[in-house]
Amino acid sequence: MKIYWNTLNPRVRALSVFLLAIAISQIGFLIAGGLQLLDLLLGVYFGGFIVYFLARWGFFATRVPMILPNQEITTLEKYRKNPGKRRYGPGEPAEFIDPNDADEELLPDDRVVGVCFNGEAAAYPLAALGVREISNEAYGDSPIVVSWSPVTYSARAFLAKADNRVLHLNRHTHTVFNSPALPDDGDSTFVQFIGQAVSGELAGWTLEQIPVVLTTWAAWKEAHPDTEVMSTEGGPEADIFERYYANDRNGVHSLNPTDKRLHGKDVVFGLDIRGEAKAYSYSALIDEPLVEEDLGRTPIVVLHERSSATATAFYRTVDGRTLNFKGKSKNPHRRSAESTASGEGERPNYEPWLIEDTQTGSTWRAVSGECIDGELKGCQLEMLVGMTGFWYAWSRFYPTAELFGALDESADPVPASE
């Protein structure tokens, strides 16, 4: 019955609720002592109020079929339209500049989405990508789409190929769990948080993700000095969503987390390896910035460079040898932004956090996984696809995933059916 109801036309559902509310009100008036014209008018008002309230909550929203990651059952999720007028950002193609020119536009602490693929590196400042939403690129012969959703705090990059065709994704008009639903040039729409198509000819298809790094301009430039940078020219010079990040509103369509192990706007760094998913709370990683474990029967290391607030994860196996790591250089806590924004203090120059493996004593960069000194110099740890996001969104898309750093370690995850 629930499936039948959710698949009905939204207008039919709204009309059904409206008529039912009127009928119930009239029955109540009849029991209370007879019907009058005023009672009918009050019933219409009551029915309209109920429909309006439920519409604001999304009760009548169109539903789209989805199979959440690592789940088997198809669910029908709300496909909601953005409120208000549609905003248009700078058009494509974007201008890319070299690091020296980027220094004129960006501050060392400005946040960027970094991508290194096919030997090419590029940085996308949140100030630029936040208003563009997506950037369709080519890294060598590979079509890539890079996206940033400030509402869910999710940086993603996908191989823009599906069913032997190259895709071109566009700005969104609807969301699923507050995650942008990005339409292609055809009739398909892909949910940005997980890359799954929920409508059109490609419905059910999931795009292959490639690793991205959410970090500062100084940290990315240090790790990739030859990077290109998306220019902020034509858009805002700073990230216009800073206030939203700091407030307690869970998305454009308020979506409180059903999983209370973290607060809704707590940022997590998520991994999904061979069907086993786990989220790592940023606040917990600050206290324990190096985590070694097996996930999906794979030895991994999760790192958090405090000075740049950068979380990364890598396979720990190099040339058939599984390595163990420990910190080598200092990993200082990040100073408050107010001390520099007010002009009353200066942040020390950025210095990368270095780690070393206990097997050979070689030195590695935490942000890039590059070995810069020792027996393994020149080797590169393989970066995992790490997915940042606010907890309210991650816990909806991955309802049964493990969590590192829960507020209450005794709390259990919410079952997928709830």
240 domain-assigned? no
Residues 266 and 385 both lie in one domain:
yes
Residue 416, pLDDT score: 40
For the chain, the domain total comes to 3
Q: Angle at which helices 37-57 and 10-33 pack, to 10 degrees? A: 140
Say if residue 382 is in the same domain as residue 326. yes
Write down the pLDDT at residue 17: 74
Q: pLDDT tens for residues 79-123?
A: 888 876 666 666 667 899 999 999 999 999 999 999 999 999 999
Domain boundary among 189, 208, 230: 230
Q: In this structure, are 194 and 297 located in the same domain?
A: no
* Residue range 366-383, pLDDT digits in tens: 999 999 999 999 999 999
Give the torsion sign (CA, 73, 74, 78, 81): positive
| Within a domain: 410 | no
My answer on whether 264 and 329 are in the same domain is: yes
Residue that is last in its domain, among 60, 76, 105 = 60
Whether 121 and 224 share a structural domain = yes
* 70 belongs to a structural domain: no
How far the first Cα of the chain sits from its last, in Å, is: 17
Name, in order, each residue with C-beta under 8 angstroms of 141's C-beta and a sequence gap of 6 or more: 118
Rounded CA separation 17/11 (Å)? 10
pLDDT of residue 92: 64
Strands 134-139 and 142-149: antiparallel
Which of 28-42, 157-171, 256-270, 390-404 has the least mean pLDDT? 28-42
Q: Is residue 158 part of a domain?
A: yes
For residue 2, the model assigns a pLDDT of 57
Half-sphere exposure at residue 188, Cβ-oriented, CA atoms within 13 angstroms: 24
What's the Cα-to-Cα distance from 195 to each of 71, 174, 188, 249, rounded to whole Å?
15, 15, 12, 24
* Percent of the chain scoring above 90 in pLDDT: 65
Q: Within this chain, do residues 146 and 275 fall inside the same structural domain, yes or no?
A: no
Give yes or no: residues 54 and 152 share one domain: no
Q: Express each pLDDT in 128-151 by its tens digit.
A: 999 999 999 999 999 999 999 999
Which neighbouring-strand residues pair with 267? 390
Query: Is pLDDT above 70 for 158?
Result: yes
Look at residues 214, 213, 220, 212 and name the one whose alpha carbon lies nearest to residue 107. 220
Q: What does pLDDT average to over the chain?
A: 87
317 and 189 in a single domain? The answer is no
Is residue 263 scored above 70 in pLDDT? yes
Q: Does residue 72 lie within any of the structural domains?
A: no
Mean pLDDT score, 383-390: 97
- Does 75 fall in a domain? no
Instruction: Quote the pLDDT of residue 88.
Output: 61
Are 199 and 105 part of one and the same domain?
Answer: yes
Q: Which residue carries 């606040």 as its tokens?
A: 283
Q: Do residues 309 and 188 share a domain? A: no
Query: Is residue 124 pLDDT above 80, yes or no?
Result: yes
CATH number for the domain spanning 125: value is 2.102.10
Range of the domain at 147: 96-230
What digits encode the pLDDT tens for the residues 35-93? Answer: 677 777 777 777 787 877 777 666 767 888 899 999 989 888 888 888 766 666 666 67
Is 45 in the same domain as 112? no
- Note the pLDDT tens digit of each residue in 176-228: 999 999 999 999 999 999 999 999 999 989 999 999 999 999 999 999 999 99
- Report the candidate in 309, 415, 326, 315 with the shortest Cα–Cα distance to residue 364: 326
* Within a domain: 220: yes
Regarding whether 344 and 390 lie in a shared domain, the answer is yes
> Quick one: pLDDT at residue 91?
63
- Residue 80 domain-assigned? no
